Amino acid sequence: WGGWWYWDPVENASFMPWLAGTALLHSAIIVEKRDTLKTWTILLAIVAFSLSLLGTFLVRSGVISSVHSFASDPGRGLFILGLLLATVGGSLGLYAVRAPVLKSGGLFSGVSREGSLVLNNVLLATAAGTVLLGTLYPLFADALNLGKLSVGAPFFNAVFVPLSVPLVLVMAIGPLLAWKRGNLMRALKTLSPAVAVALAVAAATLLFGGSRSPWWAALGTGLAAYLAVGTLAETVERVRLFQIPVGDSLHRLVHLPRSAYGLLLSHLGLALVIAGITGSSAWKVESIQTQRIGETVTVAGYGYRLDAVEEARGPNYVAARATFTVTRDGKPFTVMYPEKRMYMQPQRPTTEAAIETTVLGDLYAVIGDNEKGAFVTRLYFNPLVPWLWAGGILMALGGLASLSDRRHRIGAPVRARAALPSGSAAGRA
């Protein structure tokens, strides 16, 4: 089990354009609805694409070491670097020339839908800049002869938690605010059930989790509950449930625009991701030991009995395949078959973990070397990891639903000119 995220440079290379692209999607909503922030949105588009090219350069050039790096090719890296410089330079040059020509739209209050989306953009852009700095800092330090340095998970985690908390809070508040000028007190009143549920979930996490529930676990579960209930509250407010007859509310629900479903799915998906991150980080159970045939080890309430280790052959490898019978409360639960393989050409050992997925987490079993009749085994229980996958799928579906909205494929109406040249109206007549 390598975890769900390692803050490796290659992982960061894909995360940076995702952050910038997410900010771009939210900024584009302001352009569509209010015809403002056009220059900022164009700049975000340039940055998102440039970060994609930068990620490709980091992965293929080998300038930064990574456990996920592909075969490095300096020649290909130079080509990608040239393409990156040409794209960024050309785009920013054109932007500098054309941006002043674009006219800004109407003004808006800080407490409004636009204001919440701007804050969303600021936080996401800051997060992307932080990842970029942490990823490239070792490269610059080496170039300046400051020694070999590495920036790891402690730095990124310390920076991302302060950015994530206000981002999640705004995600639930923003959709409840009106365009141009919103009513913050009304939005907070609508979110009062979400706040109550979040506090209850956080308190339950601390109360029932005991010493295995640090304060940040309560924060994570509370934020996940807050975002999920707040997102549902926004949908309830949109269809006016409990304010008009139920049949009318259902009619409004069915006829919501696809972008509304996209918001619902993507925000619920992020709530699941937050819960999955919290669970897999706070309550993971790992056990490493030696087991003989017939011995049972209990991990997180699951009993792993090693029944056999047999030789198995594949098309180009030889493997030692273990058989684990897993029980729960003394009752059979599943059978797992991890392998330790040796590939022939070239000779290379690999470990194939056996994974059993449940609603509440993943069971992992790994078989190691034979030490005088006892086998090294690694057994894991990783809570809520499937919620990470489910949340990611929901976020992707939400994005597709928003992009498929017919309104996004129709150009915004062009405002009528203040004055028309004399005779033009007659000419059209």
On average, the pLDDT of the chain sits at 86
What is the rounded average pLDDT of the residues 209-214?
75
Quick one: pLDDT at residue 335?
96
Residue 423 confidence (pLDDT) above 50: no
More confident residue, 25 or 393: 393
Quick one: pLDDT at residue 169?
94
What is the rounded average pLDDT of the residues 331-336?
94
**Banded model confidence at residue 38, pLDDT cuts 50, 70, 90:** confident
Percent of the chain having pLDDT more than 70?
90
Residue 148 confidence (pLDDT) above 80: no
Residue 181 confidence (pLDDT) above 90: no
Residue 390 confidence (pLDDT) above 90: yes
Cβ proximity of 405 and 257 under 8 Å: yes
Predicted TM-score (pTM) of the model is 0.84
Residue 26 confidence (pLDDT) above 80: yes
Look up residue 134 and give its two tokens. Answer: 């942490």
Quick one: pLDDT at residue 68?
60
What is the rounded average pLDDT of the residues 188-198?
93
Render pLDDT for 286-329 as a digit per residue (tens, 0 to 9): 999 999 999 999 999 999 999 999 999 988 899 999 999 999 98
Render pLDDT for 66-98 as a digit per residue (tens, 0 to 9): 666 555 566 666 777 888 889 888 988 988 888
Render pLDDT for 235-251 as a digit per residue (tens, 0 to 9): 998 888 888 888 888 98
What is the rounded average pLDDT of the residues 195-222?
89
